[in-house]
């Protein structure tokens, strides 16, 4: 029997499985108070998914407010939409608006690597589409356990194949990302997916359902039983046993990239023809989320006829239909006069579209199923007025001990030349070609830079050559040692990577991956990281336009390294001025190191890879320096003074040299001063290795000196040598370096 509102009124004392659905006693009591009765099965399903940590941000909300508090009007001046929308939108000039966002799909990808990762890509792409933008490119920051662990061999190939399988078929170039290994991600890999899209400024679509009488149209794939996790209890209770036991589909959704590709093209045609008033994608929490968010963001109520939803399974209950996470679906609000034209476009693309409801003049979200009311709620209470937790926050007792255990006493190697090779072959620094060559980076023909470049870059406008650059970064070891400084360092690196391509950084997104919010130590890490990131953004003068929080990333009581992945978006007026990562593009180049090198080894790749050590303090972030460095790089690109640039991060100068030589397929002669170990392997922030044509050397270094940016000449590019020579140490042939750098991942995963 279907549990209707009438039934709920008549059976106030009926027991409900709210605990199994993840609701606490007081949360359930609040729902009863809001409704003045017990919720129906369908209402309970809705509240339970929408009030989940994933949808409601109940543990993080109080901390995330800090982003808003630290964003000034000036920082906001280029922002067309921000936190709270499907994705942030930034005005990049020439009439273009760019939207970007990164989201996690960690847990599904552990359970079912291929589909988990694939639907992670699908979800973020629909978020971008729901802003009215054409999705243009994707990037995937990934974290795995130990590279040689059995489980890593299971999840990594599956996740990579899933991202490629979905993204390639969708026709979006994959232009960057990260692959990081650390034991803490064993049993809890991180799959974060970023998408960037663009639209003309006037075409921005926000998710709202205004205008009484407007129609609500669900279009895209049919709704099935996939992705229903939370409602399993309800499903088994309401299902008629006489028809036999229902086979439950896995709670990881199954993706169909072909359907999504068609959905994108169909949606863009609908936008172009002006047929859409409001739009929302269906992701986590499915129709529950889409209808309650559309209704609560509009100025009226909404009536949804649930029995009209096209299904792909028989006998689905209203609760199941509402919480299904079947992929490739969108929900649009359309003026009645445009419904026929809307349907015509959908027909052209063979997309199923169904009018499932309308905007009403009340303030309730009413959902009926075969004329019986199964949901009657104030939509804001579902979508926006969920519980807010002030979780206990406490600096972990062992934080002091961790910081006191510095890397100063770790033995340093005799043979530094050998160490360069060992580090180049270490899984975290090794070439990620094995991964990235499974991704299409060329489709649509606008990819100007892609992995292994510091940042990805795409052309937005073929006439004006305007484009954007993107980078995502985070070093979880730094964040573990000092979450505040670590978050700033993640921001600094992403900022520097974007600047190293010649683009001006303008906006920030994030994906905050942490352990359990019920652990006060984890909440401390979270609070510190949010503060560090927000303070850093204020110092750089660029806003956070959106983000995502993923909690409960832990195995047993052991949390992952706190991993606030930071994505930075940059704008370049003319992509033809982009700075490549590899040397050798021009004859006669000088190598300059910009920034200062200090003996900073806390959380370094060397301490991790060679000694398995994590302790001390991370490098110090200096955001004023990063800003200056960025300005110098942008000026250098604009005036054609820089022929290659590569940021220094994990592995220090040694790794930057190896990569710039191998990517450019050109040798170099390097001369360093002082302690060579520090010069080569320190991970001091705020440094970039640049190659400048000899004819520009004086002009460029004069500019650095005039603006008080420390610089040092560290070598020359030598196209004849085919080796990396370091004065005082000897030389490494590019062949042996390539073998070290490119051999590791194939040896592990082929």
Partner 1 sequence: MRVGVITFPGTLDDVDAQRAVRYADGEAVPLWHGDHDLKGVDAVIVPGGFSYGDYLRCGAIARFAPVMQEVIEAANKGMPVLGICNGFQILAEAHLLPGALTRNHKLHFVCRDQWLKVENNSTAWTTRYDAGAEILIPLKSGEGGYQADEDTLKELEDNNRVVFRYVGENPNGSRNNIAGITNARGNVVGLMPHPEHAVDALTGPTDDGLGMFLSLLDTVVKA
Q: Using CB under 8 A as the criterion, which residues of the chain lie in contact with partner 1 when the complex forms? A: 161, 164-165, 168-171, 256-259, 261-262, 349-350, 436-448, 459, 462, 575-576, 750
The active-site residue, picked from 63, 105, 208, 613, is 105
* 188 assigned ligand-binding residue: no
DSSP state of 410: S
What does the block give as tokens for 90? 């930034």
* 107 assigned ligand-binding residue: yes
Give 85 or 440: the residue with its C-beta nearer to partner 1.
440
> Rounded to an integer, what distance in angstroms lies between the CA atom of residue 153 and that of residue 731?
35
* 327 assigned ligand-binding residue: yes
* 415 assigned ligand-binding residue: no
* 57 assigned ligand-binding residue: yes
Give 64 or 642: the residue with its C-beta nearer to partner 1.
642
Consecutive H or E run containing 210: none
Judged by DSSP in three states, 659 sits in helix
* 651 assigned ligand-binding residue: no
Give 131 or 457: the residue with its C-beta nearer to partner 1.
457
Judged by DSSP in three states, 447 sits in strand
Residue 376: asked if its preceding bond is cis (omega within 30°), the reply is: no
Nearest to 628 by CA among 680, 529, 706: 706
Q: How far is the CB of 72 from partner 1 (least distance, A)?
A: 37
Q: How far is the CB of 343 from partner 1 (least distance, A)?
A: 17
Give buried/exposed letters for 25-58 (b at 16+ CB in 10 A, else e). eebbebbeebbebbbbbbbbbbbbbbbbbbbbbb
Which runs of consecutive H residues, i.e. helices, occur in 208-253?
232-238
* 320 assigned ligand-binding residue: no
Is 54 designated active site? yes
> Rounded to an integer, what distance in angstroms lies between the CA atom of residue 326 and that of residue 252?
10
Nearest to 113 by CA among 164, 72, 172: 164
Q: How far is the CB of 262 from partner 1 (least distance, A)?
A: 5
* 101 assigned ligand-binding residue: yes
**Paired strand residues for 280:** 331
Q: How far is the CB of 114 from partner 1 (least distance, A)?
A: 13
105 close to 117: Cβ distance less than 8 angstroms: yes
Q: How far apart are the first and last CA of the chain?
A: 53
Q: How far is the CB of 325 from partner 1 (least distance, A)?
A: 21
* 510 assigned ligand-binding residue: yes
Judged by DSSP in three states, 530 sits in helix
> Rounded to an integer, what distance in angstroms lies between the CA atom of residue 54 and that of residue 75?
28
328 close to 255: Cβ distance less than 8 angstroms: yes
* 18 assigned ligand-binding residue: no
DSSP state of 578: P
* 439 assigned ligand-binding residue: no
Q: How far is the CB of 359 from partner 1 (least distance, A)?
A: 31
Give 650 or 742: the residue with its C-beta nearer to partner 1.
742
DSSP state of 384: T
Sheet holding 365-369, edge to edge: 278-281, 329-334, 215-220, 353-360, 301-305, 365-369, 372-377
Q: How far is the CB of 433 from partner 1 (least distance, A)?
A: 9
Nearest to 285 by CA among 166, 399, 382: 382
* 548 assigned ligand-binding residue: yes
- Phi and psi dihedrals of 44, rounded to 5? -65, -40
Give 391 or 578: the residue with its C-beta nearer to partner 1.
578
The active-site residue, picked from 54, 303, 608, 646, is 54
Q: How far is the CB of 177 from partner 1 (least distance, A)?
A: 14
Give 32 or 444: the residue with its C-beta nearer to partner 1.
444
Sign for the CA dihedral angle at 535, 65, 54, 281 comes to negative
Q: How far is the CB of 676 from partner 1 (least distance, A)?
A: 36
Give 256 or 320: the residue with its C-beta nearer to partner 1.
256
Which residue is it, tokens 């990881």?
A: 252
* 126 assigned ligand-binding residue: yes
Give 103 or 440: the residue with its C-beta nearer to partner 1.
440
Nearest to 283 by CA among 350, 214, 331: 331
What does the block give as tokens for 413? 């190697």
> Rounded to an integer, what distance in angstroms lies between the CA atom of residue 374 and that of residue 40?
7
Give 577 or 625: the residue with its C-beta nearer to partner 1.
577
67 close to 544: Cβ distance less than 8 angstroms: yes
Q: How far is the CB of 576 from partner 1 (least distance, A)?
A: 6
Q: How many CB atoms lie within 10 A of CB 216?
A: 25
> Rounded to an integer, what distance in angstroms lies between the CA atom of residue 511 and that of residue 565?
5
DSSP state of 200: E
Give 2 or 443: the residue with its C-beta nearer to partner 1.
443
- Report CA-CA distances (Å) from 465 to 457, 460, 578: 12, 7, 11
> Rounded to an integer, what distance in angstroms lies between the CA atom of residue 543 and that of residue 153?
38
Give 315 or 442: the residue with its C-beta nearer to partner 1.
442
Q: How far is the CB of 437 from partner 1 (least distance, A)?
A: 5
633 close to 502: Cβ distance less than 8 angstroms: yes
DSSP state of 248: P
> Rounded to an integer, what distance in angstroms lies between the CA atom of residue 316 and that of residue 406?
59
Residue 452: asked if its preceding bond is cis (omega within 30°), the reply is: yes
Give 576 or 707: the residue with its C-beta nearer to partner 1.
576
Consecutive H or E run containing 685: none
> Rounded to an integer, what distance in angstroms lies between the CA atom of residue 304 and that of residue 325?
18
> Rounded to an integer, what distance in angstroms lies between the CA atom of residue 644 and that of residue 714?
14
Which positions are catalytic? Answer: 54, 105
Detail the residues annotated as belonging to a binding site for ATP. Answer: 57, 101, 510, 547
Detail the residues annotated as belonging to a binding site for substrate. Answer: 104-107, 126, 253, 325-327, 550
Detail the residues annotated as belonging to a binding site for Mg(2+). Answer: 103, 127, 281, 548
Detail the residues annotated as belonging to a binding site. Answer: 57, 101, 103-107, 126-127, 253, 281, 325-327, 510, 547-548, 550
């Amino acid at each position: 029997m279907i549990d209707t509102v009438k039934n709920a009124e008549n059976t106030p004392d009926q027991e409900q499985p709210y605990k199994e659905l993840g609701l606490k006693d007081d949360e359930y009591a609040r729902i009863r108070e809001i409704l003045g009765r017990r919720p129906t099965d369908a209402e309970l399903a809705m509240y339970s998914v929408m009030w989940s940590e994933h949808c409601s941000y109940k543990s993080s909300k109080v901390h995330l407010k800090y982003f808003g508090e630290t964003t000034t009007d000036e920082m906001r001046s280029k922002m067309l939409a921000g936190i709270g929308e499907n994705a942030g939108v930034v005005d990049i000039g020439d009439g273009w608006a760019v939207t970007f966002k990164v989201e996690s799909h960690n847990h599904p990808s552990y359970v079912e690597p291929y589909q988990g990762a694939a639907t992670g890509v699908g979800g973020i792409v629909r978020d971008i589409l729901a802003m009215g933008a054409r999705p243009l490119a994707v990037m995937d920051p990934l974290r795995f356990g130990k590279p040689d662990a059995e489980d890593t061999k299971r999840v990594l190939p599956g996740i990579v194949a899933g991202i490629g399988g979905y993204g390639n078929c969708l026709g979006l170039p994959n232009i960057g990302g990260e692959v990081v290994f650390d034991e803490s991600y064993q049993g809890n890999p991180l799959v974060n997916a970023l998408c960037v899209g663009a639209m003309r400024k006037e075409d921005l679509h926000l998710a709202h359902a205004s205008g009484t009488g407007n129609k609500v149209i669900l279009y895209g794939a049919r709704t099935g039983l996939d992705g229903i996790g939370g409602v399993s209890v309800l499903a088994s209770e309401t299902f008629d046993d006489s028809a036999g036991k229902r086979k439950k589909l896995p709670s990881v959704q199954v993706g169909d990239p072909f359907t999504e590709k068609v959905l994108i093209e169909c949606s863009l045609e609908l936008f172009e023809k002006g047929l859409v008033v409001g739009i929302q994608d269906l992701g986590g929490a499915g129709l529950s989320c889409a209808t309650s968010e559309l209704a609560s963001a509009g100025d009226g109520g909404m009536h949804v006829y649930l029995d009209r939803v096209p299904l792909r399974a028989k006998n689905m209950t209203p609760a199941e239909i509402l919480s299904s996470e079947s992929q490739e679906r969108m929900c649009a609000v359309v003026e009645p006069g445009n419904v026929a034209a809307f349907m015509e476009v959908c027909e052209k693309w063979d997309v199923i579209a169904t009018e499932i409801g309308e905007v009403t003049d009340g303030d309730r979200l009413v959902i009926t199923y075969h004329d019986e009311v199964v949901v009657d709620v104030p939509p804001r209470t579902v979508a926006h007025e969920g519980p807010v937790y002030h979780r206990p926050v406490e600096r972990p007792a062992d934080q002091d001990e961790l910081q006191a255990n510095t890397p100063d006493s770790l033995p340093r190697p005799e043979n530094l030349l050998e160490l360069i090779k060992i580090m180049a072959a270490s899984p975290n620094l090794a070439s990620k070609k094995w991964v990235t060559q499974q991704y299409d980076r060329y489709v649509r023909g606008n990819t100007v830079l892609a992995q292994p470049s510091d940042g990805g870059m795409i052309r937005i406008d073929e006439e004006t050559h305007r484009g954007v650059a993107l980078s995502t970064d985070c070093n979880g070891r730094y964040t573990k040692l000092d979450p505040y400084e670590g978050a700033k360092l993640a921001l600094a690196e992403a900022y520097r990577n974007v600047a190293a391509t010649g683009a001006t950084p303008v906006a920030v997104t994030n994906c905050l991956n942490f352990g359990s919010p019920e652990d006060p130590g984890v909440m401390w890490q979270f609070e510190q990281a949010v503060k560090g990131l927000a303070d850093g953004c204020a110092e750089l003068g660029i806003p956070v336009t959106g983000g995502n929080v993923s909690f409960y990333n832990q195995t047993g009581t052991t949390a992952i390294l706190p991993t606030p992945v930071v994505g930075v978006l940059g704008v370049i007026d003319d992509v033809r001025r982009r700075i490549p990562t590899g040397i050798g593009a021009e004859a006669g180049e000088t190598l300059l190191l910009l920034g200062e090198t200090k003996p900073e080894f806390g959380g370094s790749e060397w301490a991790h890879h060679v000694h398995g050590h994590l302790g001390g303090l991370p490098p110090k972030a200096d955001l004023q320096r990063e800003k200056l460095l960025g300005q110098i790089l942008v000026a250098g690109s604009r005036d054609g003074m820089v022929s290659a640039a590569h940021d220094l991060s994990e592995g220090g100068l040694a790794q930057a040299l190896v990569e710039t030589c191998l990517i450019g397929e050109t040798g170099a002669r390097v001369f360093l001063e002082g302690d060579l170990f520090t010069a080569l392997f320190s991970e001091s922030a705020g440094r970039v290795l640049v190659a400048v044509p000899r004819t520009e050397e004086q002009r460029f270094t004069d500019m650095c000196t005039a603006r008080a940016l420390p610089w040092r000449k560290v070598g020359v590019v030598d196209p004849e040598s085919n080796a990396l020579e370091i004065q005082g140490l000897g030389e490494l042939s590019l062949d042996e370096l390539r073998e070290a750098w490119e051999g590791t991942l194939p040896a592990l995963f082929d």
